[in-house]
């Protein structure tokens, strides 16, 4: 068995942070959430960063954090939903660890984000249309770099984390 980094990708609200934290705990790995690291370093929340620096400013910060954290050893990292938009992020994620795409039906994402005011991309327009558009744009990018894909609506986060760990161990990854 080889120790490897595990990177979770997928749209917002699919459960990357929750599942990632559980997976890291059960596999005895350090856990990182790129959005939280960005907020800690900026001393501000994502909404503020988007307001002041725009999406480009946020993506620049994200790229720096992704490059740095993917160089760590034996971690689980939950990424922001748009991390795959930049080719350099896709390259480092794919080359420095196992990439797991967490997916969920559109209706489930709409329900999970219904009252969430912390997601800048959903604050304008109709969230359902935004989520549909994001899925269409990003699904091929997630598929391009993912080693595994798990759907998050069939089981709770604990069961999903266990299923992921079981699959990884079966494939010789610890």
CATH assignment at residue 70? 3.40.50.300
How does pLDDT run along the chain (174 residues), one tens digit per residue?
567 999 999 998 899 999 999 999 999 999 999 999 999 999 999 889 988 999 999 999 999 999 999 999 999 999 999 999 999 999 999 999 999 999 999 988 888 777 666 665 666 668 789 899 999 999 999 999 999 999 987 789 999 999 999 999 999 998
Residue 173: inside a domain, yes or no?
no
Which residue from 88, 81, 89 is spatially nearest to 130, judged by alpha carbons? Answer: 81
Contact predicate 150/163, CB 8 Å: yes
Q: What angle do CA 55, 129, 39 make, to 5 degrees?
A: 30
Residue 172: inside a domain, yes or no?
no
Range(s) of the domain holding residue 42: 6-166
Residue 107: inside a domain, yes or no?
yes
Number of independent structural domains in the chain: 1
- In the numeric block, which tokens belong to residue 135? 């899925």
- What pLDDT, on the 0 to 100 scale, is given for residue 168? 97
Tell whether pTM > 0.85.
yes
Residue 1: inside a domain, yes or no?
no
Residue 91: inside a domain, yes or no?
yes
Alpha carbon of residue 95 to chain centroid? 16
Residue 73: inside a domain, yes or no?
yes
Residue 27 neighbours by CB distance under 10 Å: 19
Dihedrals phi, psi of 33, to nearest 5 degrees: -120, 115
Residue 174: inside a domain, yes or no?
no
Contact predicate 76/6, CB 8 Å: yes
- What pLDDT, on the 0 to 100 scale, is given for residue 42? 96
Judge residue 5's burial from the number of C-beta atoms within 10 Å of its C-beta, 0-12 exposed, 13-18 middle, 19 or more buried: buried
DSSP 3-state of 27: helix
Rounded-to-integer distance, Cα 35 and Cα 16, Å: 11
């Amino acid at each position: 068995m080889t120790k490897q980094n595990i990177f979770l990708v997928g749209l917002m609200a699919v459960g990357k942070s929750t599942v990632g934290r559980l997976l890291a705990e059960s596999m005895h790995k350090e856990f990182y959430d790129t959005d939280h690291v960005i907020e800690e370093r900026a001393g501000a929340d994502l909404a503020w960063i988007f307001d002041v620096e725009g999406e480009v400013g946020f993506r620049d910060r994200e790229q720096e954090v992704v490059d740095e954290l993917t160089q760590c050893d034996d971690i689980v990292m939950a990424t922001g939903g748009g991390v795959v938009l930049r080719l350099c992020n896709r390259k480092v994620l794919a080359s420095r660890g196992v990439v797991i795409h967490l997916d969920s039906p559109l209706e489930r994402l709409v329900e999970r984000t219904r009252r969430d005011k912390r997601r800048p991309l959903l604050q304008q327009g109709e969230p359902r249309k935004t989520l549909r558009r994001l899925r269409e744009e990003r699904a091929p990018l997630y598929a391009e770099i993912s080693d595994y894909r798990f759907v998050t609506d069939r089981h709770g986060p604990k069961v999903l984390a266990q299923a992921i760990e079981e699959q990884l161990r079966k494939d010789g990854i610890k």
